[in-house]
């Protein structure tokens, strides 16, 4: 028995499913999850000493790779001064200054401990500001596991075919309307009927949790129009913030949300989320306003230091063109390898995040994503793992490239994919 298999047996006795977050259990692809011992740059190592080129990268946060020296230095420095005070620290202010200077629509920000906490709090703020109850989300978008948003959700919920969850009262789900992603007419029609009762529309501007899917022009126009009904537009940039551009997906797409949710990259590998927006909205939060939200470890100095170090490097180096180039090389190589081996795939990519769909059609919404061949994906996943390539263990996730990924990593990945495509049994 391998070290990973032994650990999984132990884990299953005391952790539910052996894990602390469902997709890690490999349920969708079968087999035993790999237990990681350490990582460096673009590579991770399991407890049995196997080495992998990593495309999970902690599900997005590690845009600079594992164990980046400058981030470690900041973490050590801050940790040695005391790890938490429950009182304000300078590093929180520096971090807030950097985030607000990066994203034009964000004038003020509140730090929390996860992306889920950010979206949950953003919904409360939107309801508090507008005095309305209804909210809108899109099919296959994932905004964390908070009750109101775990309705037809993506990510693990989609992977396991559990897009909702017992334990969420119908009365609450009834306030969430789910519309198809990339369907401008559906959104326009809904807003005409219910716009005046709607607190907010929350959206992943670029969807990342049903696989990567980009928004179409008319859908973005419909999103911009939400405000004419007095509803707020909440952009969930937990993945895309500092991933697709330093200024966020919203700036690239020319859309100005009322509230922006951040997470993943801004924590530099530590648990950090944030939500922010213009002053007139954010000042409705306690202690200035009466919408309440708090956190014992919010703005934790060590986590802030890791995030700040990350954002400072991204600001200085602006690696986005380089990441896009690496992404394009990988995309082209995978497409070529699939063509040579007669495997049908579709790749959706935005800069350094991409999804290989085992699908013959163009994927622009959840319905198309779900028509992918999950069996082929699972075979491919295990063939790649065997060859030292660690992919997200689900068809409905993005592969994340970091600045630590080298041309050699990409070349090896394409070679492994070619061999894995050849092995697929239809
Ligand atoms: C990961 C993610 C979340 C949830 O963040 P957690 O830190 O896992 O709670 C929310 N929205 C999007 C778009 C995400 O990708």
Pick the CATH number of 2-63+319-423 from 1.10.150.110, 3.30.565.10, 1.10.3720.10, 3.90.1150.10: 3.90.1150.10
Exposed/middle/buried for residue 69 (C-beta within 10 Å: 0-12, 13-18, 19+): exposed
Residue to mutate, 19, 21, 116, ligand 1, most ligand atoms under 8 Å from C-beta: 116
Q: Which atom of ligand 1 has the smallest separation from the CA of 141? A: 13
Instruction: Look up 139 and say whether it is catalytic.
Output: no
116 lines ligand 1 (CB under 6 A): yes
Neighbouring-strand partners of residue 178? 137
State whether residue 134 is helix, strand or coil: strand
Model pLDDT for residues 182-201, shown as the tens digit of each residue = 999 999 999 999 999 999 99
Cα(232)–Cα(224) distance, rounded to whole angstroms? 10
Exposure class string for 304-330: b at 16+ Cβ within 10 A, else e: bbbbbbbbbbbeeeebbeebbebbebb
Model pLDDT for residues 246-292, shown as the tens digit of each residue = 999 999 999 999 999 999 999 999 999 999 999 999 999 999 999 99
pLDDT given at position 321: 98
Does residue 413 surpass a pLDDT of 80?
yes
pLDDT given at position 250: 98
Model pLDDT for residues 6-65, shown as the tens digit of each residue = 999 999 999 999 999 999 999 999 999 999 999 999 999 999 999 999 999 999 999 999
Cα(44)–Cα(229) distance, rounded to whole angstroms? 49
Cβ(70)–Cβ(293) below 8 Å: no
Specify the domain boundaries for CATH 3.40.640.10 within the chain.
Answer: 69-317
Distance 297 CA to ligand 1 centre (A): 18
Specify the domain boundaries for CATH 3.90.1150.10 within the chain.
Answer: 2-63+319-423
Q: Which atom of ligand 1 has the smallest separation from the CA of 204? A: 13
Catalytic residue among 55, 78, 142, 275: 142
Cα(400)–Cα(269) distance, rounded to whole angstroms? 14
Does residue 162 surpass a pLDDT of 80?
no
State whether residue 59 is helix, strand or coil: helix
Q: How far is CA 41 from CA 187, 321, 326, 352, 403, in A?
A: 42, 19, 15, 15, 8
pLDDT given at position 50: 98
Neighbouring-strand partners of residue 273? 112
pLDDT given at position 239: 98
Cβ(234)–Cβ(202) below 8 Å: yes
115 lines ligand 1 (CB under 6 A): yes
Distance 3 CA to ligand 1 centre (A): 30
Q: Which atom of ligand 1 has the smallest separation from the CA of 236? A: 13
Cα(70)–Cα(73) distance, rounded to whole angstroms? 5
pLDDT given at position 155: 78
Distance 114 CA to ligand 1 centre (A): 7
Model pLDDT for residues 359-411, shown as the tens digit of each residue = 999 999 999 999 999 999 999 999 999 999 999 999 999 999 999 999 999 99
Q: What percent of the chain has pLDDT over 90?
A: 93
**Which tops the pLDDT comparison, 242 or 156?**
242
Q: What is the mean pLDDT of the chain?
A: 96
Instruction: Look up 152 and say whether it is catalytic.
Output: no
**Confidence class for position 165, pLDDT limits 50, 70, 90:** confident
pLDDT given at position 154: 79
Cis amide prior to 287 (ω within 30 degrees): yes
Sign of CA dihedral 109, 144, 219, 198: negative
* Residue ID of nearest Cα to ligand 1 atom 11: 143
pLDDT given at position 344: 96
Model pLDDT for residues 109-155, shown as the tens digit of each residue = 999 999 999 999 999 999 999 999 999 999 999 999 999 898 887 77
State whether residue 394 is helix, strand or coil: coil
- Mean of the pLDDT values across residues 58-78? 98
Q: Which atom of ligand 1 has the smallest separation from the CA of 271? A: 7
**Confidence class for position 1, pLDDT limits 50, 70, 90:** confident
Does residue 170 surpass a pLDDT of 90?
no
- Entry field: residues in the chain: 426
119 lines ligand 1 (CB under 6 A): yes
User: 81: which residues sit within 8 A by CB, 6+ positions away?
Assistant: 301
Instruction: Look up 390 and say whether it is catalytic.
Output: no
144 lines ligand 1 (CB under 6 A): yes
pLDDT given at position 23: 93
The CATH code belonging to domain 69-317 is 3.40.640.10
Beta strands in 145-236 (DSSP E): 176-179, 198-203, 232-236
121 lines ligand 1 (CB under 6 A): no
143 lines ligand 1 (CB under 6 A): yes
* Residue ID of nearest Cα to ligand 1 atom 5: 115
pLDDT given at position 164: 76
Neighbouring-strand partners of residue 390? 54
pLDDT given at position 426: 84
275 lines ligand 1 (CB under 6 A): no
Exposed/middle/buried for residue 396 (C-beta within 10 Å: 0-12, 13-18, 19+): buried
pLDDT given at position 268: 98
Q: What percent of the chain has pLDDT over 70?
A: 100
> Other C-beta atoms within 10 Å of 216: how many?
15
Closest residue by Cα to residue 22 from 118, 162, 187: 162
pTM (global) more than 0.85: yes
């Amino acid at each position: 028995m391998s070290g990973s298999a032994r650990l999984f047996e132990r884990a299953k006795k005391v952790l539910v499913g052996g894990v602390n977050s469902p997709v890690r259990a490999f349920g969708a692809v079968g087999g035993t999850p790999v237990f990681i011992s350490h990582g460096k740059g673009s590579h991770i190592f399991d407890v049995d000493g196997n080495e992998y080129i990593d495309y999970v990268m902690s599900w997005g946060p590690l845009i600079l790779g594992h164990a980046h020296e400058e981030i470690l230095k900041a973490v050590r420095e801050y940790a040695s001064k005391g790890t938490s005070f429950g009182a304000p620290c300078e590093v929180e202010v520096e971090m807030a200054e950097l985030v607000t200077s990066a994203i034009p629509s964000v004038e003020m920000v509140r730090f929390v401990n996860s992306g889920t906490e950010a979206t949950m709090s953003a919904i409360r703020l939107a309801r508090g500001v507008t005095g309305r109850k209804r909210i809108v989300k899109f099919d296959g978008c994932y905004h964390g596991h908070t009750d109101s948003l775990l309705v037809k959700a993506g990510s693990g919920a989609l992977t396991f075919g559990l897009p909702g969850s017992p334990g969420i009262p119908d009365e609450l789900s009834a306030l969430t309307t789910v519309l198809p992603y990339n369907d401008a007419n559906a959104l326009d029609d809904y807003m005409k009927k219910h716009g005046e009762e709607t607190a907010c529309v929350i959206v992943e501007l670029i969807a990342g949790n049903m696989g990567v899917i980009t928004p179409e022009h008319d859908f973005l126009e419909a999103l911009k129009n939400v405000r004419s009904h007095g509803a707020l537009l909440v952009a969930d940039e937990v993945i895309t913030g500092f991933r697709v551009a330093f200024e966020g997906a919203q700036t690239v797409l020319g859309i100005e949300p009322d509230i922006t949710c951040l997470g993943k990259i801004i924590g530099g590998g530590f648990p950090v989320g944030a939500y922010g927006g213009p002053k007139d909205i954010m000042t409705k939060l306690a202690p200035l306003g009466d919408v309440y939200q708090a956190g014992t470890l919010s703005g934790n100095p060590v986590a802030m230091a890791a995030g700040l170090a990350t954002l400072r490097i991204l600001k200085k180096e602006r690696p986005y063109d380089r990441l896009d180039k690496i992404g394009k090389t990988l995309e082209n190589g995978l497409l070529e390898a699939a063509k040579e081996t007669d495997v049908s795939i579709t790749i959706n990519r935005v800069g350094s995040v991409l999804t290989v769909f085992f699908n013959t059609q163009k994927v622009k919404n959840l319905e198309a994503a779900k028509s992918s061949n999950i069996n082929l994906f699972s075979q491919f996943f295990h063939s790649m793992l065997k060859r030292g390539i660690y992919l997200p263990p689900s068809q409905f996730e993005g592969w994340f490239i970091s600045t630590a990924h080298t041309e050699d990593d990409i070349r090896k990945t394409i070679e492994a994919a070619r061999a894995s495509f050849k092995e697929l049994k239809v």
